[in-house]
A and B are shown apart, each in its own frame.
Chain A
Amino acid sequence: MLPDSDTLLQLVGGLYEAAADPALWGQFLRRLSFATCATSAALVMYDAGQEAYTLSSSWKVHPEATRLYQEHYGSLDLWAKRALSKPNAWVGVSGSLCSLSELGTTEVYNDYMVKFGFEHGLFALVANTRTRFASISLYRDSSCSAFDASQGEIVRFLAPHAQRAFRLHLCFSELKTRSVGLETALDSISIGIIVLGHKEEIVTMNRCAAELVQENDGILATRVGLRAHLQIESDLLAKTIRQAISRTKSSGPVIGGTVLISRRAREPLQVLVSPIRNSTFPGPHGVAAVAFIIDPSRRSPPTEDILRTLFGLTPAECRIALLLGDGHAPRKIAEMVGVSENTVRSQIKSIFSKTGVRRQSQLIRLLLSNSGVTIQEELFT
């Protein structure tokens, strides 16, 4: 018999809440365990590509049990292995997968399941494709009897919702990780990038833009959007952004606007604003424009490491190449480094031949084109 409809609807609600916030799977498992008198519960996943078994969320499963499952016992889990051959949406009890007497002869049962209270199981497969298997698994320890039909009925009622919620969850987490990947790529670029919403509000910015805003010189990030210190520039910037946003829906070439933003002591920032055409995602949550900010005073030469691997420059040559890249003349470089001008000239000759350029301006071009990708070492340590 099904419990009262309030309890069931709470469970359904909990499933869909977990779709957008994976931290809530644990809460759902707790509620479901109460409704089915389970002593513990988990979301068991198998990734065929990585051949990895995991308990990705759980309730009352010992942390040690979770660790051991991932490291060793997951691949021996007879229940999961047999459930793999069941169709998607299958709901059933452990007894239908293998008898307790058969299970009793296995290593996984004697060394693992007994110890952590996995005596009886009730499963709902929420995904079973070539690449991914996921099951909402309810467990009882040996002090309990096996799950019976009434608990099966609850799980069967929830199963279509659980599958849908799991699909939502996967889709959402893939979108999120994709965005994180894209953001990481943008963080490695030495141009400030600010993504703006339909109401001119700042949705997100990359590392370089965050640094420029932090300097509080010229450009400002406010609650209502991007502004400048000088009123006249601020108005022009706001107008340019509004224009770009209004072009989001129009057709024709993607034309952005440009604004120069003065700073106290340094060269002005160059700001380009471009509309985002994304007709597939209309609505109030959409992003509408990107502002690109170039700081002409920002020197971001490629690392010596990159010059060495890409062109085989020696450390001395790297140093001279970078000084040439800053626009210094050979004589000046000789003074700075403390060697003769002839030495510098012969090193320049070697740099030119290794990099395949013929003029200093070409070398600057080469160095700059490898410098937009600034690798933020501190990120990865």
Chain B
Amino acid sequence: MHAEQVRSRILAALYEAPLDSRRWEEFLRLTALAVGGEAASLLVHDFSNTESAMSKEWGFHPEVAKLYAVHYGAIDVWRSAVTASHDWLGTSQRFVSFAALLHTEFGNDLLLRYDIPHGIFAMVERGPARVANLSICRSARAGAFDEKDLEIVRFLKPHMQRAYRLDSEFSAARSLSGGLLTALNAISKGVILIGPKLQVIAMNQVAERILAANDGLKAERNGLRTESNTESTRLDELISEAIATSHGKGLDAAGSMRISRRDLPPLHVVVSPVRGTDFGPRRQVCAVVFINDPAQRVRPACDTLHAMFGLTPAECRVALLLGDGHAPGQIANMVGVTRNTVRSQIKSVFAKTGVKRQSELVRMLLQNADIAIQSKAKPGSRS
């Protein structure tokens, strides 16, 4: 194949990699083949915990990546020689002579054993806490790499650096968005993100559960719908107002309404606009819909109450029943103990949690129940 075509295929794989990480392997394969290498990897050296690992690799014996991460990364003589250099591009013998390499554990036990004693290295990222480099290897039989083999790697170096940076930025953005969704999933209210055309963009798990019940509120292709036309119209109005506010046109802060259901009490809905961002050709999220289901019994987990306040299982049960709004007499009947036992347990619950009245206890329990990380998504949690 013509050299130009090879280069453009390598560049295509390289710059696709931030969108699809499997393309890193293709990039490594094409690059290795272009210089007559037999294996290639992207090595990441983390100085904060002195870990070295192959973050992507092609062509190595399956054991090599594992052994490198658990043992040989730390005693990689190539790494220490290469990281000491400013111009990070060269063949292995430029950094460590072949004879010297054979005197090391790394050279003998890893490189010779798996027959990868010759290499080419190029710096991909050099940060204060982390260094990443490309490493291409081949067998003793294939012989050492020479200067001519470096040419294509030299050409690729700035592109690798850019693509790796894009990849890092993309992973960070994906990870952040995933983390934020995880946090939102822990909230006991339904949260739905709405786009510019009233369409649903994302929602948390509570919202998914409410919509899955298919009672009152539904998500359709063109937005949220309710059972009644009047309510649908009102909901559309609220969302459109919020979107207009997000676009800087409206003045309304937020609106609220009730959405009727067949048997259960109505859902409480609050629609709020989203602060805009000028990033990108168009705004994606324009409004947020919060849903509160009054029929959903929100309770903190006993684990949390135990860990936080040292409540015993019996005290937890009494606390939760008090929180549900039952009187001490009722609780005694429900649990099957005397009123006096319940009263002394309540006293102990108040002392341990530092509350003075039932209303304060209800407040405390509900605040903890807002985060449903330890008791989430139990089926049949509606009362």
Chain A: which residue is nearest B181 at the CB level?
Answer: A182
A126 to B304, CA, bound (A): 53
A221 at the interface (CB under 8 A from B): no
B319 at the interface (CB under 8 A from A): no
- Which residues on the A side are within 8 Å of B282 (C-beta)? 47, 50
A68 at the interface (CB under 8 A from B): no
- Are B280's CB and A310's CB within 8 A? no
- Which residues on the A side are within 8 Å of B159 (C-beta)? 12-13
- Which residues on the B side are within 8 Å of A274 (C-beta)? 182, 186, 373
Question: Chain B's nearest CB lies how many Å from the CB of A53?
Answer: 12
Most buried by A among B158, B165, B252, B292: B292
- Are A361's CB and B166's CB within 8 A? no
- Which residues on the B side are within 8 Å of A358 (C-beta)? 325
Chain B, 366-381, CB within 8 A of any chain A CB: 366-368, 370-371, 373-374, 376
Question: Chain B's nearest CB lies how many Å from the CB of A298?
Answer: 8
- Which residues on the B side are within 8 Å of A315 (C-beta)? none
B19 at the interface (CB under 8 A from A): yes
- Which residues on the A side are within 8 Å of B258 (C-beta)? 309-310
- Are B180's CB and A171's CB within 8 A? no
A318 to B61, CA, bound (A): 72
- Identify the stretch in B133-141, B194-202, B332-340 within 8 Å (CB) of chain A at 4 or more residues: B194-202
B268 at the interface (CB under 8 A from A): yes
- Identify the stretch in A59-67, A111-119, A189-197, A343-351 within 8 Å (CB) of chain B at 4 or more residues: A189-197
A125 to B176, CA, bound (A): 32
Question: Chain A's nearest CB lies how many Å from the CB of B216?
Answer: 14
- Are A290's CB and B275's CB within 8 A? no
Contact flag A178-B177 (CB < 8 Å), given A168-B166, A361-B325, A373-B189: yes
| Contact among A13, A356, A369 with B158 in the assembled complex (CB-CB below 8 Å) | A13
- Are B281's CB and A45's CB within 8 A? yes
A270 to B15, CA, bound (A): 46
- Are B173's CB and A179's CB within 8 A? yes
- Are A178's CB and B366's CB within 8 A? no
- Which residues on the B side are within 8 Å of A177 (C-beta)? 277, 279-280, 283-285
A256 at the interface (CB under 8 A from B): yes
A265-300 interface bits toward B, Cβ cutoff 8 Å, 1 = contact, 0 = none: 001001010101110110111110010101010000
A358 to B330, CA, bound (A): 15
B223 at the interface (CB under 8 A from A): no
Contact flag A56-B284 (CB < 8 Å), given A178-B201, A179-B173, A361-B359: no
| Contact among A164, A182, A306, A356 with B15 in the assembled complex (CB-CB below 8 Å) | A164
Most buried by B among A183, A358, A362, A380: A380
- Which residues on the A side are within 8 Å of B283 (C-beta)? 177
- Are A12's CB and B308's CB within 8 A? no
Question: Chain B's nearest CB lies how many Å from the CB of A98?
Answer: 26
- Which residues on the A side are within 8 Å of B360 (C-beta)? 327
- Are B15's CB and A276's CB within 8 A? no
Chain B: which residue is nearest A189 at the CB level?
Answer: B187
A49 to B196, CA, bound (A): 10
Chain B, 179-228, CB within 8 A of any chain A CB: 179-184, 186-189, 191, 193, 196-197, 201-202
A342-368 interface bits toward B, Cβ cutoff 8 Å, 1 = contact, 0 = none: 000000000000001011111011101
A213 at the interface (CB under 8 A from B): no
| Contact among A182, A366, A368 with B193 in the assembled complex (CB-CB below 8 Å) | A182
- Are B308's CB and A258's CB within 8 A? yes
- Are B257's CB and A309's CB within 8 A? yes
Chain B: which residue is nearest A364 at the CB level?
Answer: B362
Question: Chain A's nearest CB lies how many Å from the CB of B159?
Answer: 8
Question: Chain B's nearest CB lies how many Å from the CB of A318?
Answer: 13
Contact flag A185-B175 (CB < 8 Å), given A47-B281, A309-B257, A327-B360: no
- Are A174's CB and B284's CB within 8 A? yes
A90 at the interface (CB under 8 A from B): no
- Are B173's CB and A175's CB within 8 A? yes
Question: Chain A's nearest CB lies how many Å from the CB of B48?
Answer: 7
| Contact among A13, A169, A189, A195 with B176 in the assembled complex (CB-CB below 8 Å) | A195
Chain B: which residue is nearest A296 at the CB level?
Answer: B364
- Which residues on the B side are within 8 Å of A286 (C-beta)? 171, 175, 179
A171-212 interface bits toward B, Cβ cutoff 8 Å, 1 = contact, 0 = none: 111111111111111101101010100010001100000000
Chain B: which residue is nearest A56 at the CB level?
Answer: B281
Chain B: which residue is nearest A175 at the CB level?
Answer: B173
- Are A185's CB and B191's CB within 8 A? yes
A16 to B14, CA, bound (A): 11
A304 to B184, CA, bound (A): 26
- Which residues on the B side are within 8 Å of A172 (C-beta)? 169-170, 173
Chain A, 39-58, CB within 8 A of any chain B CB: 45, 47, 49-50, 54, 56
- Identify the stretch in A17-25, A80-88, A144-152, A225-233 within 8 Å (CB) of chain B at 4 or more residues: A17-25
- Are A278's CB and B162's CB within 8 A? no
| Contact among A169, A180, A258 with B285 in the assembled complex (CB-CB below 8 Å) | A180
- Are A193's CB and B359's CB within 8 A? no
A375 at the interface (CB under 8 A from B): yes
B294 at the interface (CB under 8 A from A): yes
- Which residues on the B side are within 8 Å of A9 (C-beta)? 158
B115 at the interface (CB under 8 A from A): no
- Are B325's CB and A362's CB within 8 A? yes
| Contact among A178, A257, A366 with B294 in the assembled complex (CB-CB below 8 Å) | A366
Question: Chain B's nearest CB lies how many Å from the CB of A172?
Answer: 6
Contact flag A173-B184 (CB < 8 Å), given A254-B373, A285-B168, A373-B292: no
| Contact among B170, B179, B191, B275 with A287 in the assembled complex (CB-CB below 8 Å) | B179
- Which residues on the A side are within 8 Å of B253 (C-beta)? 375, 377, 380-381
Question: Chain A's nearest CB lies how many Å from the CB of B353?
Answer: 9
B152 at the interface (CB under 8 A from A): no
| Contact among B166, B285, B303, B358 with A19 in the assembled complex (CB-CB below 8 Å) | B166
Question: Chain A's nearest CB lies how many Å from the CB of B355?
Answer: 9
Contact flag A191-B370 (CB < 8 Å), given A276-B182, A281-B175: yes
A310 to B257, CA, bound (A): 6
Chain A: which residue is nearest B168 at the CB level?
Answer: A285
B256-286 interface bits toward A, Cβ cutoff 8 Å, 1 = contact, 0 = none: 1110000001001010111101011111110
List of 5 A-B pairs having minimum Cβ-Cβ separation, nearest first: A181-B285, A173-B280, A327-B359, A287-B179, A177-B284
Task: Beyond A161-B15, A365-B323, A380-B245, list 5 extra A-B contacts (CB 8 Å).
Answer: A286-B175, A356-B265, A358-B325, A365-B366, A379-B275
Q: Show 6 A/B contacts (Cβ-Cβ < 8 Å), sorted by A.
A: A165-B15, A168-B15, A179-B180, A184-B275, A258-B308, A358-B325
